[in-house]
């Protein structure tokens, strides 16, 4: 079965210049297509590195997720090069008085059509950071979408620390969880990153594709992990793009031999549902 194909992961060092980041992104897409990748995944904050910008400055560079210049250019490039793209943007709020923006991941298919648009649900108000000062939390987990590279579920960075979310996406049929990230450096941070990504892969029998920002305050270590927890890519701290081979049929095979999703006791969990409210 031709279930095997290539996925490109971009470990980016976004600057605060949106046009420059777009140009770099387009070059990566062309290179990925040349290397026969069927999917390319960019990290969080692809549009711009934001840490030193005020929420007002962020609101000024933010765009619409439907027809902003940044996304439309990625859509036309996806179509020209016949490749699926996971990209991230700062998305303008609909409320005029609102100075904060959404941290949004977009799935563009190889026909250049936006098939999913996910606003980060878990904001990083932790370990000394307070994203909610600049970002608005999304309030919906988007169902996974079929693409020519497999069925893809979207999450962003801090989301991976919450096992409920990847489990929901896995149960809804995701074969790949794409988790664009901008993981901060810090005590135990790389340890957490690798451990959590492996755990999410293993407990769901799923591929994790986690592109990360690198340099400055970020930890790099972009990873792809297979459904049995094997690390098939770890980019360390080098900037650039790597292409790996993944085999979607492995998701079903692993789930057959280690049937974690099947062995769940939802009849028992149901009695404890108040723990989730």
User: Which entry of 18, 92, 120, 134 is annotated as an active-site residue?
Assistant: 120
Lookup result for tokens 């910008």: 53
Angstrom CA distances, 89 to 8, 244, 246, stand at: 19, 25, 26
CB atoms within 10 A of CB 263: 7
- Residue 207 contacts by C-beta under 8 Å, 6 or more apart in sequence? 150, 175, 176, 177, 201, 224, 225, 226, 227, 246, 248, 250, 251
User: Which entry of 92, 142, 157, 175 is annotated as an active-site residue?
Assistant: 157
The answer for 170, left when phi > 0, alpha when psi is -120 to 50, beta otherwise, is: alpha
| φ/ψ of residue 238, rounded to 5 | -95, 140
| φ/ψ of residue 138, rounded to 5 | -75, 165
Provide the greatest CA pair distance for the chain: 53
**Burial of residue 244, with CB atoms counted within 10 A of its CB: 0-12 exposed, 13-18 middle, 19 or more buried:** middle
Lookup result for tokens 């279930």: 3
User: Which entry of 18, 41, 44, 92 is annotated as an active-site residue?
Assistant: 44
**Residue 41 bears catalytic tag:** no
Residue 150 structure tokens: 């497999």
Active-site residues, by number, are: 44, 120, 157
């Amino acid at each position: 079965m031709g279930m095997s194909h290539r996925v490109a992961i971009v470990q980016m060092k976004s600057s605060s210049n949106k046009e420059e980041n777009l140009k770099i992104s387009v070059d990566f897409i062309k290179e990925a297509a040349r290397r026969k990748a069927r999917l390319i995944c960019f990290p969080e904050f692809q549009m711009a590195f934001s840490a030193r910008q005020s929420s007002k400055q962020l609101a000024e560079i933010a765009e619409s997720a439907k027809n902003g210049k940044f996304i439309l250019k990625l859509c036309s490039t996806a179509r020209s090069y016949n490749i699926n793209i996971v990209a991230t943007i700062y998305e303008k709020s609909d409320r005029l008085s609102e100075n904060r923006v959404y941290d949004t991941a977009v799935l563009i298919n190889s026909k250049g059509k936006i098939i999913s648009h996910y606003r980060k649900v878990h904001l990083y108000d932790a370990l000394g950071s307070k994203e909610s000062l600049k970002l608005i939390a999304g309030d919906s987990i988007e169902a996974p979408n079929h693409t020519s590279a497999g069925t893809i579920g979207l999450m962003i960075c801090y989301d991976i620390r919450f096992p409920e979310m990847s489990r929901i996406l896995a149960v809804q049929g995701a074969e790949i969880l794409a988790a664009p990230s901008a993981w901060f450096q810090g005590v135990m941070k790389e340890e957490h990153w690798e451990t959590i990504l492996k755990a999410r892969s293993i407990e769901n029998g799923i591929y994790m594709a986690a592109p990360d920002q690198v340099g400055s305050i970020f930890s790099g270590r972009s990873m792809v992990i297979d459904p049995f927890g094997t690390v098939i890519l770890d980019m360390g701290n080098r900037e650039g793009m790597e292409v790996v081979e993944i085999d979607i049929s492995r998701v079903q095979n692993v789930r057959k031999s280690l049937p974690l999703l099947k062995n769940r006791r939802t009849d028992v969990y149901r009695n404890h549902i108040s723990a989730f409210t």
